[in-house]
Structure 1
């Protein structure tokens, strides 16, 4: 039997029934309602201040950019769901072909689409941040979509700190202790650096703690009869947390199983104290009590099965590459040392505060035996699980990334140190609590907390990825297979090479070059508006928290619990700072300048693209620009120059050309008709180039497709010739009808009656009712990938051409003409028809009846 069972601890006062802090301090005798309002006003203010301070600090220290490719994969899912209601990550399909299969962040679906192998929970949870940022942009605010989502985990981690406070209260500790626990977790553990990443671990920490909180609340909530047990909302809370955890990482089912055992233990305990003595009835009541938890898990696994089927056509397929080496293949002692003691990833090096947690766990478990044993079991399960994982170190990461979910559970036992000598007495008249405690925080705990906070501050100040790269130069690395030699800095003798020390080395080497703060640029630029606002907001919130602590022991509450002003300020200050930060961070050069280069291309696509178009990119080092600034809903297919060597890319682009009316093709730093650009070469064979333009170092090519009904004409017997070249036009294909804003796709079928002696070029034009061209194309064969002088004679050939029709074409008759000219001769004369003597062939006359709206 636990200590809490021997001497039942009262649950935290509920609104309308709880303790009155003001009455306890002043000795007055307020009514029960006044007591509840006073306590909860004070408590809610404290929780808002805690969340606001942490969120402001996280925002202030956020880099505003990705660190690791894992983040890109998660954001790709969020973006796809928000824009188009799909779950693919085709926008970063190029990541599928990297050094090692184990480094691949996605997997191919049956049709070649790319899907993230990460659990869907974090990506779907981040939709809230995406929606808020999108709404801000709709109001004219210059907020980057990606940068707004990068603040999400900071918000979630702040909520986790508040949830930790609530858990502390459920175990019978004071609000003061809850505030301290929240601050220690939020600023003294690796939760801080990961609050600034788009990883799934912050959601894991929140969801597992939510499950634990629901179970503890169920246990400490007084149940007078079995009906109350069966209707307890806290079982639903626990089930929600369990489902979220599994939706984040399926392997967390092991941890949920441990938490489920704790819930079952408490359910049996509660039923036995409230139900009739019949074993059958008790079994029924226990089963009914656990049904909400089981129902939540059933829903979770059903949704995961649907998600897997939607991606890979198999309810059980997750996308992990177990056949390529992923799995639980590491000798467990090796991983155990790595996660706990190694200089590279040892948890106690990266968060010394957890050393105090080890000692605090003893008195904590004595007082809360079941909860303490559960924390030990959760820790053993998670550490054991990832000690055996093939990449237990988590790739390029800060500290033991996979142990982040244990953070709140390892901070929780410290409550037993902060309230070492305690006794709780429930005064039934007013629901009042009195707690006597040791007034001094142990000096050792303070030192460890300070040291831990300093380490986390170093982690967010300069970019730890830069030191990870340096480590690969210090220790053996094969960059063709970076996983070949495993993680560096494993031996205790390598402590000087630990990333903990490495952060300070980066500062000494070149602080500006290694900075990881959005408001401090590598060129020395400081965003003073962000800095000053952040300092004022953080300082203001710290001041309110200091007053809040003082209010714990004052006779008169400060501020007045009836006044809404402190609550409003606690809410408004962080939100104002977030808006200022987003506005400043949006100017980061990594995301391009407005109306220049890639961003100018995106603006043109948003303005001119049709709803059934698609975007194809060959810009693997600039993927963050459309992620941050593109507001449209067109699907994006992001490839590398050699992607068409892979059947999956061919399948996806073949489908894109069949299903979409237009293709907007973006390249970065590549010349037209680059022989290495397999994607453009493929498009030359399968799509119809209409326009080709440069935007600084970026290039935008617009293609049409053969979507829709088409009409073909053959046996034209038109021969175009000059003194040295003779080309027979044998037929053409065009759509039945045209309309403004589309790309008119034209197939020209031709044959060289004899080898060409010059490199001729095609011209295709649409002449308006007045005979003036309204659209035209000038191109070499196969969009410049070959020349006329190298084409075989006597073979049937096809040239694909596209004409981009303006959105404002007036109604009338439009004449489509085509022909050839010789740029190798002075004046670039056109070839003429042997039969008619004309220098162009009229292919078809189209009628536009009206200008369609976009």
Structure 2
């Protein structure tokens, strides 16, 4: 019989292998593109910060600040996380922008590990916890967002860690976990300010612990003390965020989005049809949450059982889910384009997936078949997502099908182009179906795709000739086709070796 130390060692090794397996897979699918605004903005701010200790970005690539210079409208959190990667690039004489995508790759691999740890801490076995981790990391849209340069994956990790730490506090009553929880949600907030809507869900878990516990004599005093500690620990992050806003735009409450909305002549929360936003996020073929992450549907089968076993955690999860859906259904750009799926809701996926553990122990034959089918479907959809750049879909609509996009622009801010709202509710315009077609078309072109010189690419405005409109969106493949070299093939070979080695270790440790 395995003793406690051996079991802990086996679990720790399993976590390491989950991280390395996820890291290798996400490196394998890394994008070869650098055309995303958030990714380029992160590089621009890092360049300014490391070269002359400032935050401005090149003219025309941001929002005009209080001093007349351009500044990024994105939060500072992802910039801080990118500093080690940027400096490492400079140290190794590698183009720093090459290493910045590793921020999201590392973050996403870490989230998979945290999904395993969180599920295990609730009391589920290693095999079930591992299954939950893999369902999340490889069969939901979290898989695509490991390669996307946006901040959603960072937001997801830090909110999840905040919830986990608060859960650990309810188990151990250690004050340190409240501090960790506050620090983590603070990092999420300075990365994406909308993360503040997750705070009530985190505090709900804290309140329920004291309200329903019989071990505390003065519950009100304990609640006030813990909430005050949580808020005090959030203060440095709030102060940093307000200072960063003031430095850029002259107001502690101005993130840049308000300036853009004013210049566009839009009110991004008033006048928005909440019903359209909510139905779009839930059911539309263009942005329906469950179409992009089919395993999340199992939540509705498992939530009753999960509530009975873990009432406080379940209520926290549901509060967070409702908060996000309610907030973004009122947002003018609820679809979050240009992007793959409903990117603003990525942070809610862990709370749909973890409850599934409650029905995995001994599912009936029909339920098991349903779960397997859902996981396979989810994995298939993620394959189409990671294989093709989402920009290809939007450019295809504009250039090949002559769909007229809605355009908002203003002096000193970046213009925005969005498909007409009816596009999202039209099954024939479903990005998932288009991506299936693109995968097929790219596979046919793969053997005879013409090499294109870098210099030609840099000066050519013909979008249709760009590689991301013709071949699969993998960095190593771009190296082969654009650089006239097969050195890129070494990357997938190495990653496949790591995947096999870690896969073997995962099988061994999960069964020990």
User: How far has the Cα of 1:503 moved from its partner?
Assistant: 1.1
Aligned residue among 358, 377, 389 for 1:451 = 377
Within 2, Cα distance between the matches of 1:440 and 1:418? 13
2:91 paired with 1:135: yes
**Structure with bigger gyration radius:** 1
Matches within 5 A, 1:340-489: 340-420=282-362, 442-473=368-399, 474=401, 476-478=403-405, 483=417, 486-487=420-421, 489=423
Q: Which residue does 1:684 correspond to in 2?
A: none
Structure 1 spans left out of the alignment, 5+ residues: 1-21, 24-34, 96-105, 138-142, 222-228, 422-437, 552-854
Within 1, Cα distance between the matches of 2:366 and 2:406? 53
Does structure 1 conserve the Cα–Cα contact (< 8 Å) formed by 2:403 and 2:419? Answer: yes
Secondary structure at 1:234 match in 2:
helix
Matches within 5 A, 1:771-810: none
2:261 paired with 1:322: yes
User: How far has the Cα of 1:341 moved from its partner?
Assistant: 1.1
Quickly say closer, same or farther: Cα 1:479–1:264, change in 2 above 3 A.
closer
Matches within 5 A, 1:611-626: none
Quickly say closer, same or farther: Cα 1:254–1:549, change in 2 above 3 A.
closer
Quickly say closer, same or farther: Cα 1:166–1:510, change in 2 above 3 A.
closer
User: How far has the Cα of 1:118 moved from its partner?
Assistant: 1.4
Structure 2 spans left out of the alignment, 5+ residues: 409-415, 447-469
Greater per-residue helix proportion? 2
Instruction: Provide runs of 4+ in structure 1 moved above 6 Å.
Output: 438-441
2:162 paired with 1:206: no
For structure 1, which segment, 261-270 or 445-454, has the greater mean C-alpha deviation from structure 2 after superposition? 261-270
Q: How many residues align?
A: 470
Q: Which residue does 1:542 correspond to in 2?
A: 503
Q: Which residue does 2:456 correspond to in 1?
A: none
Secondary structure at 1:184 match in 2:
helix
Within 1, Cα distance between the matches of 2:269 and 2:131? 38
TM-score by length of 1: 0.53
CA offset digits 1:557-601 (Å, max 9, x no partner): xxxxxxxxxxxxxxxxxxxxxxxxxxxxxxxxxxxxxxxxxxxxx
Q: Which residue does 2:12 correspond to in 1?
A: 44
Q: Which residue does 2:455 correspond to in 1?
A: none
2:178 paired with 1:235: yes
2:477 paired with 1:520: yes
User: How far has the Cα of 1:150 moved from its partner?
Assistant: 0.6
Does structure 1 conserve the Cα–Cα contact (< 8 Å) formed by 2:287 and 2:341? Answer: yes
Within 1, Cα distance between the matches of 2:17 and 2:366? 24
Within 2, Cα distance between the matches of 1:417 and 1:451? 19
2:220 paired with 1:283: yes
Does structure 2 conserve the Cα–Cα contact (< 8 Å) formed by 1:211 and 1:259? Answer: yes
Does structure 2 conserve the Cα–Cα contact (< 8 Å) formed by 1:308 and 1:314? Answer: yes
Does structure 2 conserve the Cα–Cα contact (< 8 Å) formed by 1:56 and 1:534? Answer: yes
Greater per-residue strand proportion? 1
Within 1, Cα distance between the matches of 2:221 and 2:112? 37
User: How far has the Cα of 1:75 moved from its partner?
Assistant: 2.8
Does structure 2 conserve the Cα–Cα contact (< 8 Å) formed by 1:65 and 1:150? Answer: no
CA offset digits 1:256-300 (Å, max 9, x no partner): 123213212324445x5144xxx5xx4333333333311122222
Secondary structure at 2:187 match in 1:
helix
Matches within 5 A, 1:629-648: none
User: How far has the Cα of 1:479 moved from its partner?
Assistant: 7.4
Aligned residue among 187, 191, 196 for 2:147 = 196
Secondary structure at 1:442 match in 2:
helix
Does structure 2 conserve the Cα–Cα contact (< 8 Å) formed by 1:342 and 1:489? Answer: no
Secondary structure at 1:273 match in 2:
coil
User: How far has the Cα of 1:483 moved from its partner?
Assistant: 4.0
User: How far has the Cα of 1:110 moved from its partner?
Assistant: 1.7
Secondary structure at 1:397 match in 2:
coil
Q: Which residue does 1:296 correspond to in 2?
A: 233
CA offset digits 1:40-87 (Å, max 9, x no partner): 110011001111111110000001332422322233223322333222
Within 2, Cα distance between the matches of 1:325 and 1:36? 60
Within 2, Cα distance between the matches of 1:156 and 1:440? 36
Within 2, Cα distance between the matches of 1:355 and 1:345? 15
CA offset digits 1:676-714 (Å, max 9, x no partner): xxxxxxxxxxxxxxxxxxxxxxxxxxxxxxxxxxxxxxx
Within 2, Cα distance between the matches of 1:67 and 1:444? 39
Within 2, Cα distance between the matches of 1:400 and 1:480? 20
2:128 paired with 1:177: yes
Secondary structure at 1:126 match in 2:
helix
Higher relative contact order (CA 8 A, sep 6+): 2
Q: Which residue does 1:568 correspond to in 2?
A: none
CA offset digits 1:182-211 (Å, max 9, x no partner): 111111111111111221101111111011
Within 2, Cα distance between the matches of 1:120 and 1:486? 32
Quickly say closer, same or farther: Cα 1:440–1:337, change in 2 above 3 A.
closer
Does structure 1 conserve the Cα–Cα contact (< 8 Å) formed by 2:127 and 2:511? Answer: no
Within 1, Cα distance between the matches of 2:212 and 2:89? 47
Secondary structure at 1:489 match in 2:
helix
Secondary structure at 1:514 match in 2:
coil
Does structure 2 conserve the Cα–Cα contact (< 8 Å) formed by 1:393 and 1:487? Answer: no
Within 1, Cα distance between the matches of 2:490 and 2:26? 17
Q: Which residue does 2:464 correspond to in 1?
A: none
User: How far has the Cα of 1:420 moved from its partner?
Assistant: 5.0
Quickly say closer, same or farther: Cα 1:283–1:498, change in 2 above 3 A.
same
Quickly say closer, same or farther: Cα 1:38–1:485, change in 2 above 3 A.
closer
